[in-house]
Chains A and B, each alone.
Chain A
Amino acid sequence: MYGIEQLLVELATRLASIEAVNAFFRDPRTTARVVGVLIAIPAGMLGSFLLLRGMALTSDAISHTVLLGIVVAFIIMTRFFRMEPDLSSPWLIIGAAGAGVVTVILTELVQASGLMKQDAALGLAFPFLFALAVIFVARYVENVHMDEDAVMVGEIGVAWANTNSHPIGDYESVVITADDPRAEIVRRCVNCVRDQINPRDPAAEFIEVCSNCGEYSPGEAYRAGFTTVRPVLVYWPKSVTVALVMALVASLFIAIFFKELKITTFDPELARSLGYRPTALNYALMVVVSLVAVGAFDAVGSILVIAFFIIPAATAYLLTNRLSRMVALSAALGSAGAFWGYDLARGRLFGVLPLPGDWDTSISASMVIMMMVLFVVVLLASPRSGLVAVWARRRRQRRTFVDMVLLGHLDHHINRVFSRESLEAHIGWQPEKLAAVLDRLERSGRIEIDAGRINISRRGHTSLAAFRASTT
């Protein structure tokens, strides 16, 4: 990760001045937006495939296990390897992503055993995994980076403050070894704790250890006073690197396997018979989803990341019938939500409209709410699949249907003379409904009412014939 980050820093400083880069990321708003958008893009693209494959809730399952995976990896790193816990460590990411894939396989196994339905298996797995994770956090983790709040909502708001410093130019890192004059040598009792004896006890054994040995990056060396050269540093947020790498992995995966993903999504049987491998691809997709979920955990927590997968994809699904457009739209909608989310968290809708009150709300939740706002707008107003369009279409269809039923009756009993009353007795509708239908038909010239006698007109015949032709 650190090497990739250095490349990114190199690239950024080529494009802009060091001060500009530092100023860019020092603004909490820009960093939060960058991280949010970098999560929303891969999640939105992957979410489209999940949604179309009917696996929307798989992202839910994955995010829950990924949480447990992260917590367990965190504990193993701190307790057994005495490592500085770091949510951007590649080992942690790989371990947690592996846990995500294992859950998917396990739920499929449970389902295949027929002991419980899929929904029950997932409904059990979610709270169980979450409960385990919470217990572990409460019992074994005493670290500011990992508490219940961070698990729920992430720390995108402070992403700007959690940085690696990269020196620009040729500064040498300083290595302090035990024989260096600057090394601090202390004596440490090796058996005091184990045998519970006092250090003054003659049985106590001591070793000399160097308390400050190790390699210091130029920035650290300057701060520790080992060098007087003050290096020029770029402070690069760790979350940006993680999110960017995941975004690249996911985009590459989709770009390379777009054709395969498309065919296995819509017709797995055909794909299989053509020699593709839908199962292998499915697991590959799960791996990538897990990676993105792990990468996003730090920033948005483990529940809200599900929204990044599902909501923009569902919004795009209501807008288009083409897969490529859906993927692109989903990424764009997710990015828009993430972009405006920060402002909503500070009480400004779409960045301009001020909301009443004193706002200081969760940024990740606000990003989700902005996606939700976009979703609701599209849900209501989408030209083909929106609620308004659907309601209008159903109303029109209902009207056409009753019109045609009435015309059909008139046509069928062409030799009978109908008045309003006899027609009402014949067809058995409510008087108001019949009146409305007759009124509509008369206004459109499809029937003629002549001294109380209802006759089907030439235009009525044409329209009935057209309807019959269209339905057979």
Chain B
Amino acid sequence: MTTTIDARSSWPLIVIAAVLVVLFVPFSSTVMGVRYTYTLRTVAIGGALLGAVSGAIGSFAVLRKESLLGDALSHAALPGVAVAFLVAGRELGALLVGAGLTSLLGVAAIRVMTGYTRIKEDAAMGIVLTGWFAAGIMGLTYIQGRPDASQAGLDSFIFGQAASIVRSDVFLLAAVSTVAIVLLITFWKQFKLITFNAEFAGANGFNVTLWSALLSTLVVVAIVMGLQLAGVVLMVGMLIAPGVAARQWTTKLEAMVPLAAIIGAAAGGIGAVLSAVDRNLPTGPMIIVTASAIVAISVLFAPQRGVVWVVLTRWRDARRFAMRTVLRDVYHYVHDHSASVAGVPDSFIAGVRGRPGRRALNRLLARRMLRKTIDADTGTRWNLTETGQRVASEDARNQSLWDMYREAGLRLDLPVIAEQRDRDIRALLPPQAIDALTDLLGDKEGEPRVRY
């Protein structure tokens, strides 16, 4: 059960994220002067709920590389709203069911096009996205042209209209969210399996088509719930952004999904609150911008794979590499020219290693591994200090042992290990093996076989 142990190690992260989100409420009311009116409370809670459930479901879409499918599906929900209005009138439940139906029809159309014709998936998604959307716009404009006034606000499904959300909508949202989350947890194993290895799942008797369809249905459910708040154009952001952000912080699905839910809730809640700062800030777009900001922060600062982290590691590695190389250069130069020389000429290192070599020389000087002598006749020369001598000879010996291991490891029947030359071989092989290699090395110990 290594999985759970690793997953547990990311729980602090999840808890910290949750605490930060909760702390935003007092922060916004004191520092930013936001007043939590009834409308704002409703909208913020609705946004947070929606963000949580769509973040959790969207994580799977992100991992299954179906982000753009989400975009197509949310656009495809629009004609359903129009048709449902024509059939059933202004009834929120009916509108959402209609939206879900056309959205599912969109999935089916994409599957037929890609399965039976030469149209590729990207084109099929583009066709469904624009075609269905145009049908929706046409339907809405048709409805607007009719004399009765009950259609007012129907086009708020395009960009979403947070102010239209009332308490009963939040209850509906909470109920559907609970069902979706329960489904997600109940069929966790199946969803995980088809997400990461659909062939394996199929070969082991899981009905991949069924579970994929259920997952797509959950995505559609999330989209439909978000229509009122974020609208068809922006809903995909609610679906994708939390998953992408969470993915940067963890490599475990068990941690990613809860984290995505928290990030989604944060984006939904904070976006709604921020939009209350100014009358002219629309809620849906603010939520999306907040979610995108969280993604940007994650992409920049996440440990292991964030941009900042990667750049810093790369610098550190380059520095270490240059220092090690230059130390070896000095060591071998002295070795080759016997003790007669007064040290390595500055120009040698600079000529061979260039500017990084010079910088490495100064770093080694600061670490007291090299000594610098400036002489009017011979110019600047570098020598190993005692520490430098010890480190360099240790390294040379280690490299010789590695050479020997590569040459004779199989013949001597030594344990097989990966060649990691920057590590100490004595820590990786048993003492008997080291002894055998040392014997073989004989008096050539410390002599370089491979020049660096």
Question: A residues bordering B, Cβ < 8 Å?
Answer: 51, 54-57, 59-60, 113, 115-117, 119-120, 122-124, 126-128, 130-132, 134-135, 138-139, 148-149, 152-153, 303-304, 306-307, 309-311, 313-314, 317-318, 345, 357-362, 364-366, 368-369, 372, 375, 379, 385-387, 390-391
Contact present for A311 and B240 (CB under 8 Å): no
Chain B residues within 8 Å of chain A by Cβ, number: 63
Measured CA separation A222–B280 after assembly (Å): 41
Contact present for A123 and B68 (CB under 8 Å): yes
Residues of B within 8 A of A127 (CB): 71, 233-237, 240-241, 288, 292
Contact present for B237 and A115 (CB under 8 Å): no
Question: Can you name 17 A-B residue pairings with CB atoms under 8 Å?
Answer: A56-B122, A59-B126, A115-B305, A123-B237, A123-B239, A124-B237, A131-B237, A132-B285, A152-B137, A303-B233, A314-B127, A318-B118, A358-B145, A359-B145, A361-B138, A361-B141, A369-B138
Contact present for A134 and B117 (CB under 8 Å): no
Q: Known contacts A60-B129, A116-B244, A123-B68; decide if A128 and B113 are in contact (CB<8 Å).
A: no
Contact present for B141 and A306 (CB under 8 Å): no
Closest B residue to A375 by beta carbon equals B127
Residues of B within 8 A of A126 (CB): 71, 236-237
Contact present for B135 and A115 (CB under 8 Å): no
Measured CA separation A135–B247 after assembly (Å): 28
Pick from A138, A310, A364 the residue with the most CB of B within 10 Å. A310
Q: Known contacts A119-B66, A365-B134; decide if A131 and B71 are in contact (CB<8 Å).
A: no
Pick from B62, B131, B286 the residue with the most CB of A within 10 Å. B131
Q: Report A124 CB to chain B, min CB distance, Å.
A: 6
In the complex, besides A369-B135, A372-B131, 6 extra interface pairs with C-beta distance below 8 angstroms are A116-B299, A120-B244, A135-B282, A304-B137, A317-B119, A372-B127
Closest B residue to A148 by beta carbon equals B159
Residues of A within 8 A of B123 (CB): 51, 56, 310, 313-314, 317
Contact present for A138 and B134 (CB under 8 Å): no
Contact present for A311 and B141 (CB under 8 Å): no
Residues of B within 8 A of A385 (CB): 117-118
Measured CA separation A135–B307 after assembly (Å): 28
Q: Report A146 CB to chain B, min CB distance, Å.
A: 14
Residues of B within 8 A of A131 (CB): 234, 237, 284-286, 288-289, 292
Residues of A within 8 A of B288 (CB): 127-128, 130-131
Measured CA separation A355–B244 after assembly (Å): 46
Measured CA separation A228–B357 after assembly (Å): 84
Q: Known contacts A57-B125, A132-B285; decide if A362 and B137 are in contact (CB<8 Å).
A: yes
Give B100-141 as 1s and 0s: 1 = Cβ < 8 Å from A's Cβ atoms. Answer: 000000000000110011111011011101110111011111
Q: Report A217 CB to chain B, min CB distance, Å.
A: 36
Residues of B within 8 A of A152 (CB): 137, 158
Residues of B within 8 A of A60 (CB): 126, 129
Contact present for A57 and B122 (CB under 8 Å): yes
Give B287-304 as 1s and 0s: 1 = Cβ < 8 Å from A's Cβ atoms. Answer: 011001001000100000
Q: Report B133 CB to chain A, min CB distance, Å.
A: 6
Residues of A within 8 A of B239 (CB): 123
Contact present for A135 and B289 (CB under 8 Å): yes
Q: Report B410 CB to chain A, min CB distance, Å.
A: 36
Q: Report B402 CB to chain A, min CB distance, Å.
A: 31
Residues of A within 8 A of B345 (CB): none
Q: Report B236 CB to chain A, min CB distance, Å.
A: 5
Pick from A54, A128, A307, A387 the residue with the most CB of B within 10 Å. A128
B67 within 8 Å of A (CB atoms): yes
Q: Known contacts A120-B244, A135-B286, A368-B130; decide if A360 and B141 are in contact (CB<8 Å).
A: yes
Measured CA separation A54–B281 after assembly (Å): 37
B146 within 8 Å of A (CB atoms): yes
Residues of B within 8 A of A307 (CB): 126-127, 130-131, 134
Pick from B117, B133, B299 the residue with the most CB of A within 10 Å. B117
Question: B residues bordering A, Cβ < 8 Å?
Answer: 62, 65-68, 70-71, 75, 112-113, 116-120, 122-123, 125-127, 129-131, 133-135, 137-142, 145-146, 155, 158-159, 233-237, 239-241, 243-244, 247-248, 278, 280-282, 284-286, 288-289, 292, 295, 299, 305, 307
Measured CA separation A138–B286 after assembly (Å): 11
Pick from B123, B125, B134, B236 the residue with the most CB of A within 10 Å. B134
Measured CA separation A113–B308 after assembly (Å): 12
Pick from A115, A307, A311, A368 the residue with the most CB of B within 10 Å. A115
Contact present for A139 and B281 (CB under 8 Å): yes
Q: Report B294 CB to chain A, min CB distance, Å.
A: 11
Residues of A within 8 A of B116 (CB): 387, 390-391
The one of B65, B141, B236 that contacts A362, using a Cβ cutoff of 8 Å: B141
Measured CA separation A385–B139 after assembly (Å): 31
Measured CA separation A311–B135 after assembly (Å): 14
Q: Known contacts A115-B248, A314-B119, A358-B145; decide if A372 and B68 are in contact (CB<8 Å).
A: no
Contact present for A123 and B71 (CB under 8 Å): yes
Q: Report B109 CB to chain A, min CB distance, Å.
A: 10
Closest B residue to A386 by beta carbon equals B117
Measured CA separation A200–B65 after assembly (Å): 68
Contact present for A311 and B131 (CB under 8 Å): yes
Contact present for B62 and A120 (CB under 8 Å): yes
Q: Known contacts A116-B247, A369-B138; decide if A56 and B112 are in contact (CB<8 Å).
A: no
The one of B65, B129, B292 that contacts A128, using a Cβ cutoff of 8 Å: B292
The one of B138, B240, B286 that contacts A120, using a Cβ cutoff of 8 Å: B240
Contact present for A366 and B138 (CB under 8 Å): yes
Contact present for B117 and A132 (CB under 8 Å): no
Residues of B within 8 A of A365 (CB): 134-135, 137-138, 141
Measured CA separation A153–B155 after assembly (Å): 12
Q: Report A343 CB to chain B, min CB distance, Å.
A: 13
Measured CA separation A377–B414 after assembly (Å): 71
Contact present for B244 and A119 (CB under 8 Å): no
Measured CA separation A28–B373 after assembly (Å): 89
Q: Report B156 CB to chain A, min CB distance, Å.
A: 10
The one of B62, B112, B126, B286 that contacts A306, using a Cβ cutoff of 8 Å: B126
Measured CA separation A313–B122 after assembly (Å): 13
Measured CA separation A113–B300 after assembly (Å): 12
Measured CA separation A375–B378 after assembly (Å): 83
Measured CA separation A150–B4 after assembly (Å): 52
Measured CA separation A60–B133 after assembly (Å): 13
Residues of A within 8 A of B241 (CB): 124, 127
Measured CA separation A366–B140 after assembly (Å): 12
Residues of A within 8 A of B62 (CB): 117, 120
Residues of B within 8 A of A345 (CB): 138
Measured CA separation A131–B281 after assembly (Å): 11
Q: Report B230 CB to chain A, min CB distance, Å.
A: 8
Pick from B75, B125, B127, B237 the residue with the most CB of A within 10 Å. B127
List 7 tightest A-B contacts by C-beta distance, closest first: A127-B237, A123-B67, A307-B130, A368-B134, A131-B285, A131-B288, A360-B145
